[in-house]
Amino acid sequence: MIALITGQNKDKETFVRSLDLYTKSPSINKVILVTWSETFCEFPNHALKDNKCTIIKLPSETYRHNVRYQKKLYEKGVEYIKEKFQNKNPRVLKTRPDVFISQNQLDFISDQNYAIKSSNKNLRISHKIWVPWACVTKPFYIEDIAFCSPLDTMRLLMKDDSDSILGLGQGHAHIRYYFDIARDYNIYQKDYSPYRKLHTAAIDKNNKHIIETLKDYNRCINECFIIKSLPGGIEFNKCRPYISAKPSEGWGKILFENSTFSLRKAYSNKEFNEAHKTLNE
């Protein structure tokens, strides 16, 4: 598995911890950092000696939206891997300098079966994608600080270049990675306004369009995504937020009322399906 780290080095302590683990981990055979020319970063001596690390620095550019910076670094990384690993299809774990992924979580990611079984003839990806969490009610508002799949699928993510996705509101940068997959399941085809507040707004069971959209989303998640965050498996901003958000009274409380949660997240496929079962009761 290749660790593709993209972005600025805003958390040097976490970056050093990550590199120390990734360069020694049996789950990872190559670490590639793609960042901007002004970013300061150092690799461990043993990693440089073993030729396990590569750093790619791009000249600074100016974009109107932050997502453009992310897209530029990500695309450079996956295309570099394609060039260097011709005729191969390695698994690629995309992450960031300010994210730490434990060995247990790395082992889980590495051990998964990424083969897809789907009757969707429009589906353009050929492998499942591991992600830490997914929003239950806003389609494809899925964590993007870390995700993994074989290279052929990773190269098909974040392809849409249009600014219209900004109309989806909160989470649009996350959704952009998976936007073409959403289209393969007939989601986000036209007007985006009905979806803007679905991450927190009460779900109306009588709204047939939204209910059918969420059914399509559920089908996609179960066919194309592996959702799993292990306890202590992922640290972001020096904290461990990846624990179940399900309240003690069950999913109904946050699905059919305006949510007090900033986002309705599921940290496993099981949690996701429990929530959607509540939607269909």
pLDDT in tens, 52-86: 889 899 988 776 767 778 889 999 999 999 999 98
Q: List the beta strands (DSSP E) in the chain.
A: 2-6, 30-36, 53-58, 91-95, 99-101, 129-131, 134-135, 147-150, 225-227, 234-236, 265-266
Look at residue 43 and tell me whether its pLDDT is greater than 80: no
Mean pLDDT computed over 135-155: 95
115 CB-contact burial (10 Å; exposed 0-12 / middle 13-18 / buried 19+): exposed
pTM passes above 0.85? yes
Helix (H, G, I), strand (E, B) or coil at 129: strand
Token representation of residue 42 = 């150092």
User: Each residue of 161-187: b (16+ CB within 10 Å) or e?
Assistant: eeeebeebbbbbbbbbbbbbbbebbeb
Q: How far is CA 42 from the centre of its chain?
A: 26
| Dist. CA 191–CA 184, nearest whole Å | 16
- Output the pLDDT for position 243: 44
Look at residue 248 and tell me whether its pLDDT is greater than 80: no
Write the pLDDT tens digit of every residue in 83-126: 999 889 999 999 999 999 999 999 999 999 999 988 898 899 99
Q: Which domain holds residue 219?
A: 2-279
What one-letter code names the amino acid at 218? N
Instruction: Please answer whether residues 205 and 211 qualify as being in contact, where contact means their C-beta atoms are separated by less than 8 angstroms.
Output: yes
Which CATH number characterizes residue 205's domain? 3.90.550
| Dist. CA 75–CA 197, nearest whole Å | 29
Look at residue 134 and tell me whether its pLDDT is greater than 90: yes
Look at residue 251 and tell me whether its pLDDT is greater than 70: yes
Q: How many domains does the chain have?
A: 1
| Dist. CA 13–CA 51, nearest whole Å | 22
- Output the pLDDT for position 8: 83
**CB within 8 A of 173, min separation 6: which ones?**
66, 67, 70, 144
| Dist. CA 181–CA 187, nearest whole Å | 9
Write the pLDDT tens digit of every residue in 197-238: 888 888 888 999 999 999 999 999 999 999 999 988 999 875
Look at residue 244 and tell me whether its pLDDT is greater than 60: no
